Amino acid sequence: MDASVNRIPISENEKTILIGIHLPNDNEEEVFHSLDELRQLVITAGAVVVSKLVVKRISLDPAYIIGSGKLEEIKKIIQQQSIRLVVFDLNTIRPVQIRNLENFLGCRVIGRTEVILDIFACRAKTVESKIQVELAQLNYILPRLKGLGGVLSRLGGGIGTRGPGEKMLETDRRHIVKRIQTLKKKLSHISMHRNVQRQERLQNEIIGAVVGYTNAGKSTLVNMLAKDDLFVEDRLFATLDAYTRIVYLDECHKVLLTDTVGFINNLPSHLVESFKSTLEEIKYSDFIIHVVGLDIDIEKAIKVVNHELQLLDCSNKPVILYFNKLDIAKEETIQYVRLRFPDAIPGSSLTGQGIQLLKERIIEITETLDKHKQNISVYS
């Protein structure tokens, strides 16, 4: 059973309340920024955000996450607004906490990770991405299966319930372990085939990977450069699969550009692990185009992407920093970027601003890489 089976369409009437947690060592601005990002994720998943609030805590309550007084307040909002879903801005919620909260509040309770997994389940189109998503879901659920037993029997559809489905989750743990092993074998075969293709390309072509925070405009940029029609949507995680296209920079130069899955703050580790074969396209590229949207927190986005690149052991590759969405950026943001990142290229993949300069920068890199490859071939 793959991640596309047993999907229950999200109703537009699935009203949701978002809850952020502010602990003593947390930066208040980052807490609110993370909650805003969660709002975008939930909307992308198809629900309606009715309300959101931040709860200050000295520590997380082991049974209910937050205190009884705040829970009573939330329960009243749920009843008044007919809310069906509560989403905590936490990557991990213990099964006992979910069970207690759902009993108290009378509606479903999930965390940030479940929302991201749900979006990935919706977006998975190819065989590989469907396998990767199902694997991530099962790896997330497996250690929580025992504690979630009672909760699973009450699920009625909506965000966080798509993918393997109730029946799959309620079967014996051994069946799930066996399914995980089967999925890993399938991914391994796909990865081997991808490696063969990659080796053929590496011998003859210069390959660049286009990376960036989700919804930075990576696919739009590849479309502009390759004059192609990759799927583009103004929502988070519009692209899950790695697509490679030929880009003719001028009459004498061409490269291959690979569009990759976007990153996001607190991207679940098991999701990164499941998409390892896809993310290897970045690892084995010759250079990187790091796309940054000028419509979000620039420093935060760059920090998140650089961290993921470091985990993929890609920190030493040549990087072109391309600030996208110049056509809608505020003037103060543009000035800040020019002062803070003088070597970066501001532009717009929609209007074509900065594209020629980007091509020239890519040509400089390709010529350097070509010389390097020629030197290696001489001494080998």
Per-residue pLDDT of the chain (380 residues; tens, 9 = 90+): 333 323 333 455 689 999 999 999 999 999 999 999 999 999 988 899 999 999 999 999 999 999 999 999 999 999 999 999 999 999 889 989 999 999 999 999 999 989 988 888 888 888 888 898 899 888 888 877 755 554 444 444 566 655 555 555 555 678 888 999 999 999 888 888 777 776 766 667 899 999 999 889 998 999 899 886 655 555 566 566 678 889 999 988 999 999 888 888 877 777 777 777 778 889 889 999 999 999 988 999 999 999 989 988 888 899 999 999 999 999 999 999 999 999 999 999 999 999 999 999 999 999 988 776 665 554 54
Q: What are phi and psi of 246, to 5 degrees?
A: -85, 135
Asked whether residue 185 is assigned to any structural domain, the reply reads no
- Residue of 309, 334, 5 whose CA lies nearest to 164: 5
Same domain for 145 and 226, yes or no, is no
Looking at the structure, tell me whether residues 157 and 264 fall in a common domain: no
**Among 169, 193, 228, where does a domain finish?**
169
CB proximity list for 351: less than 8 A, separation 6 or greater: 326, 327
Q: How deeply is 305 buried, as exposed, middle or buried, from its count of CB atoms within 10 A (0-12, 13-18, 19+)?
A: buried
Identify the pLDDT of residue 332: 95
User: Which pLDDT score, from 0 to 100, does residue 167 have?
Assistant: 52
Is 262 a member of any domain? yes
Provide the residue range defining the domain that includes 155.
15-169
Is 195 inside a domain boundary? Answer: no
**CA 96 to centroid of chain Cα atoms:** 27
- Residues 165 and 209 grouped into a single domain: no
Instruction: Flag whether 184 is in a domain.
Output: no
Domain termination site, one of 122, 150, 169: 169
- Provide the token pair at 372: 């390097």
Q: Are residues 102 and 212 in the same domain?
A: no
Pair (284, 163) in one structural domain: no
Amino acid at residue number 44? T
Q: Whose structure tokens read 């009573």?
A: 72
Instruction: Indicate if 87 and 230 belong to the same structural domain.
Output: no
Q: Is residue 269 part of a domain?
A: yes
26 and 150 housed in the same domain: yes
Residue among 100, 65, 102 nearest 83 (CA): 102
CATH number, domain of 135, equals: 3.40.50.11060
Q: Are residues 164 and 85 in the same domain?
A: yes
Provide the number of structural domains found in the chain. 2
Whether 297 and 163 map to the same domain: the answer is no
Which helix (H) or strand (E) covers residue 270, if one does? helix 269-274
Q: Identify the CATH number of the domain in which residue 333 sits.
A: 3.40.50.300
Rounded Cα–Cα distance for residues 140 and 115 (Å): 12
96 and 156 co-located in one domain: yes
Per the CB < 8 A criterion, the answer to whether 171 and 142 are in contact is no
Is 335 domain-assigned?
yes
Task: Indicate whether this model's pTM tops 0.75.
Answer: yes
Calpha distance 47→317 (Å, rounded): 40
**CA nearest to 206, candidates 294, 308, 288, 126:** 288
Find out whether 86 and 107 touch, Cβ atoms under 8 Å. Answer: yes
Has residue 121 been placed in a domain?
yes
8 in any annotated domain? no
C-beta separation of 245 from 222 below 8 A: yes
Residue after which a domain boundary falls, among 125, 146, 169: 169
